[in-house]
Structure 1
Amino acid sequence: MTFLGVDLGTSGVRLLLVDEDGQPIGATERTYHAAHPHPGWSEQNPADWIAALEEAIAELRDNYPQFSVLRGIGVAGHMHGATLLDDSGRPLRPCILWNDTRSHAEAVRLDAKDQVRAISGNIVFPGFTAPKLEWVRAHEPDIFAKTAKVLLPAAYLNFYLTGDYVADMSDSAGTSWLDVGNRSWSDTLLEAGNMRADQMPRLVEGTEEAGRLRPALLDKWGLNGPVSVAGGAGDNAAAACGIGAQNEGQGFVSLGTSGVLLSTRDGYHPAPETALHTFCHAIPDRWYQMGVMLSATDSLNWLARITGQKPVELTTELDGTLQKPGSVRFLPYLSGERTPHNDAEIRGSFTGLATDTSRAGLTRAVLEGVAFGLRDSFEALVATDAKFDHLIAIGGGSASRYWIELIATTLGVPLSLPKSGEFGAALGAARLGMTAATDVATDTVMTIPEVRETIEPNQALRPAFEDAYQGFRAAYPTIKASQ
């Protein structure tokens, strides 16, 4: 038996085929693009997802004979996107993506409504699904009137695979329509957003079988079947499954374009006032919380771009030995910020520049600013009684040992680096497909990756970084006032 994980990302889809022991057999990916027809808009054609998926499937089928014994599929997807379908299941317009900010005014109005935060467990962010539908209702009323179903991107792939409208709890928790504590659609939230229960997909847990692969696809892909399709997961919940974070105290730091600090929770501990996200996990009876900063490696990429260097060239200049915080401070709000400020308008800044400021000094400031932004999320999580013995570091930025030691020192928590291999959202999705097809226990499947190295906080520099972090926190009101 083999199992397939599908990671539907914003810029492309990645497929990972694994054996019955969860070991990778083969992987492939296809890219596509988002459209930005107006400032702040970000859209994709769902047909592009299907075309990319089919091309990737054909490659796996042709190159790996083990594909013929496929028994389970799991789909992970970028969250919050609004795919509007008519009563025949056809998309009515391009999907409005998570990073689309056109519905900021609608988000503010929804967030202010009675019981919305209390039931959803979250602030209504502009990127969430519910305000997108309010925008469509106001600006595209004909399309809103024809909307029979609203699916998230991963749920749309599930629909393509099974022919059924079905979504998992973790992805649905980011809509502002789900009662996150009770893991069910909320009539109150739907009414607040002028939506109906019949427009929502059927809910399942991420580990459950959502349906079976359609006969037409069994034939097209050369499979005998049956092939179970799991409920799947939102991308970060799938990543948590990929690194084995399924119990209280387990979590990760992700240094990607955005930065994520995620903690698995055994219970439901909402804290919307902190701008933390509190979502259902893909695993039954589990939740997770995460703080999100919008510009993590994106901050380093920006500095590399304007200095004509590559990011690795900038970090190499730091010699690898962690230094105490420099005199230059960087606020990493290049695209606004989520946790803890929930401020789409704030922008970044350098302060403390002098005639002797070097390029290396700017790099240090950027790395420190991102670390301090992650510390903001860490403090918000600790305020909800989250506990951390250590965290796993993933994402492209984790290749910089200097940066990882800096973050470990700023947080006061050891960071473990996995050995090279698969441990991301595609693996988590494959693991969900395996549980749906075989009913194997999640503890057996969702194991922690082998660790290459654990980087401890630099205790000698902890006081200096603590002082610098307090200065970073104090700078936010000042820059906000100046803008």
Structure 2
Amino acid sequence: MKYVIGIDLGTSAVKSVLVSAEGSVVCEHSESYPLHNPKPGWSEQNPEDWAERTIASLRKLMEKSAVDPSEVEGLSFSGQMHGLVLVSAEGKVLRPAILWNDTRTTLQCRRIEKTMGSKLLDIARNRALEGFTLPKLLWVQEHEPEILSQADVFLLPKDYVRYRLTGSFAMDYSDAAGTLLLDVAGKAWSPEIAEAFDLPLSLCPKLVESSELTGTLLPDVAEAAGLLASTKVFAGGADNACGAIGAGILGEGKTMCSIGTSGVVLSYESRKDINPQGKMHFFNHGEEDAFYVMGVTLAAGHSLSWFKDTFAKDLSFDSLLAGIEKVPAGSGGLLFTPYISGERTPHPDADIRGSFIGMDSGHTLKHFARSVMEGITFSLLESIDIIRQSGKEITEVTAIGGGAQNETWLQMQADILGANIVKLESEQGPAMGAAMLAAYGCGWFTSLAECAERFIRPAKTYVPDKDQVETYSGLFSIYQDVYGQTQGLNERLAAYRK
């Protein structure tokens, strides 16, 4: 028997999955690590925590599975995007990593827009947003110049972990696309962008394909992880790219909806000349010479977690959502906008905040819970609509993440998105995508698409209900009005946020 390992480096934990040549998940193990918020809007982690917990996760995985290390041929990574890790020539981390959900860089985003103008969208294909890496580099340049002067290279989270496991620096195209320093279509670091901000191109690591072999395990790491030093290590990809691979989004028209802490709508794109003009993200895929368009809802599953923790702390999620299918579509005229952390698509607005509209004394906890789920899904429909307006037909969407765990929500997605929703038999998301990159890199398959045919199996399809589709279509038009009608109010309320 032969196996590969997929490692998913998330914001709260790292998950390792052991996958057989038949695509079965034999074992999995997660290890958590802390998130630090030293100031309002700041979000940081210690990169060494990632490395230590990844090695611990691998060791536990091998112990629990009792698989012979000689049967594990390779491993690869999925990682949280955008996070800035600055490393010295000696391989020392120079400061805590600034994460994707850190919002300190608004002024740096304005500087990028003023300096680059329309050229940014022509080259990087994405707008300057607080979550991206270049604004973080500029923040360090302005506030911690002594740190930047010591930096030999910048890495993204999974790339630092891979460096710690192999001793070599590299970054794949799918993750590099989220830095704002990559010429996305040209698949090269952009001298024009780097020079505009006095950043040496030498700060940028070597670029590789997601399935490319980047080395083998260092002997001491292999011993600590319970693996052989000969285990092949492949580059891996950004979490969304790996989530797409793990969901089989590997051909024209294939579309995925992922509801985790944030929400993502992602659609495969083969044409490199597409430029969404900042309406959606446009990134390199983990598949060679492919791309994807992506819309993001910043607080998707987080909106539901926030609601439960604030208003139903003593209830489990199952209890909170039990019987929610009995609440009619539209939640009795109650509408929620999930802007509790700002919004990304189609409104890149860090200051907008969420709303409950239409509350009355007849609404119960179940009405509110359903309206939260509906509001999250309406936000995702805005991304679907942009893709459809570009000429693509979307009739089927693969659902992954927390939103794929509740049958009522899956049916709601079908009714609101107006498409068949496919739930997978074994939904491992980005971790499975990372394992598939390792399997393809090891030569088990001639393509990622062939790997997907073996590894990914649909379990159930949810078909839109025509009456519900009509109801939600009317509600969606109201939902779309809320942003514009509350934007000014939120600007005025911002002064009172403490």
Q: What TM bracket, shorter-length normalisation?
A: over 0.9
Q: Distance in 1 between matches of 2:166 and 2:393?
A: 39
Q: Is the 8 A contact 2:69 2:228 kept in 1?
A: no
Q: CA deviation at 1:179?
A: 0.7
Q: Distance in 2 between matches of 1:467 and 1:199?
A: 51
Rate the CA distance shift 1:136–1:302 in 2: closer, same or farther, 3 A.
same
Q: Distance in 2 between matches of 1:463 and 1:232?
A: 42
Q: Distance in 2 between matches of 1:193 and 1:33?
A: 32
Q: CA deviation at 1:324?
A: 4.8
Q: CA deviation at 1:159?
A: 1.1
Rate the CA distance shift 1:70–1:458 in 2: closer, same or farther, 3 A.
same
Please state whether the residue corresponding to 2:73 is helix, strand or coil: strand
Q: Is the 8 A contact 2:55 2:221 kept in 1?
A: no
Quick one: which amino acid aligns to residue 113 of structure 2? D
- The alignment's TM-score, normalised by the length of structure 1, stands at 0.95
Q: CA deviation at 1:422?
A: 4.4
Gaps of 5+ in 2: 491-498
Aligned to 1:428: 433
Matched, 1:401 2:402: no
Superposed counterparts of 1:72-471, under 5 Å: 72-112=74-114, 113-114=116-117, 115-221=119-225, 223-224=227-228, 226-268=230-272, 269-274=274-279, 276-308=280-312, 309-320=315-326, 323-324=329-330, 326-419=332-425, 421-438=426-443, 440-441=445-446, 442-447=448-453, 449-471=456-478
Quick one: which amino acid aligns to residue 162 of structure 2? N
Q: Distance in 2 between matches of 1:347 and 1:358?
A: 23
Gaps of 5+ in 1: none
Q: CA deviation at 1:131?
A: 0.3
Rate the CA distance shift 1:52–1:218 in 2: closer, same or farther, 3 A.
closer
Q: Distance in 2 between matches of 1:69 and 1:194?
A: 48
Q: CA deviation at 1:226?
A: 2.9
Q: Deviations over 1:73-106 (max 9, x none)?
A: 1011100000001111110001111111111110
Q: Deviations over 1:253-309 (max 9, x none)?
A: 1121211111111123231331x1111001101111111101112222222223223
Q: Distance in 2 between matches of 1:397 and 1:219?
A: 38
Aligned to 2:39: 38
Q: Is the 8 A contact 2:247 2:400 kept in 1?
A: no
Aligned to 2:493: none
Aligned to 2:482: 475
Q: Is the 8 A contact 1:243 1:424 kept in 2?
A: yes
Rate the CA distance shift 1:225–1:136 in 2: closer, same or farther, 3 A.
closer
- The alignment's TM-score, normalised by the length of structure 2, stands at 0.92
Please state whether the residue corresponding to 2:278 is helix, strand or coil: helix
Quick one: which amino acid aligns to residue 244 of structure 2? A
Q: Distance in 1 between matches of 2:326 and 2:165?
A: 48
Please state whether the residue corresponding to 1:290 is helix, strand or coil: strand
Which is further off, 260-269 or 41-50? 260-269
Aligned to 1:27: 28
Quick one: which amino acid aligns to residue 42 of structure 1? S
Q: Distance in 2 between matches of 1:469 and 1:78?
A: 31
Which is further off, 135-144 or 49-58? 49-58
- The count of residues paired between Structure 1 and Structure 2 equals 481
Quick one: which amino acid aligns to residue 207 of structure 1? S
Q: CA deviation at 1:439?
A: 6.2
Please state whether the residue corresponding to 1:470 is helix, strand or coil: helix
Which is further off, 303-312 or 321-330? 321-330
Q: CA deviation at 1:207?
A: 1.3
Matched, 1:49 2:50: yes
Please state whether the residue corresponding to 2:482 is helix, strand or coil: helix
Quick one: which amino acid aligns to residue 378 of structure 1? I
Quick one: which amino acid aligns to residue 144 of structure 1? L
Q: Is the 8 A contact 1:208 1:435 kept in 2?
A: no
Which is further off, 467-476 or 396-405? 396-405
Q: Distance in 1 between matches of 2:228 and 2:360?
A: 69
Rate the CA distance shift 1:357–1:190 in 2: closer, same or farther, 3 A.
same
Which is further off, 385-394 or 329-338? 385-394
Q: Distance in 2 between matches of 1:311 and 1:60?
A: 28
Q: Is the 8 A contact 1:70 1:225 kept in 2?
A: no
Rate the CA distance shift 1:302–1:110 in 2: closer, same or farther, 3 A.
same
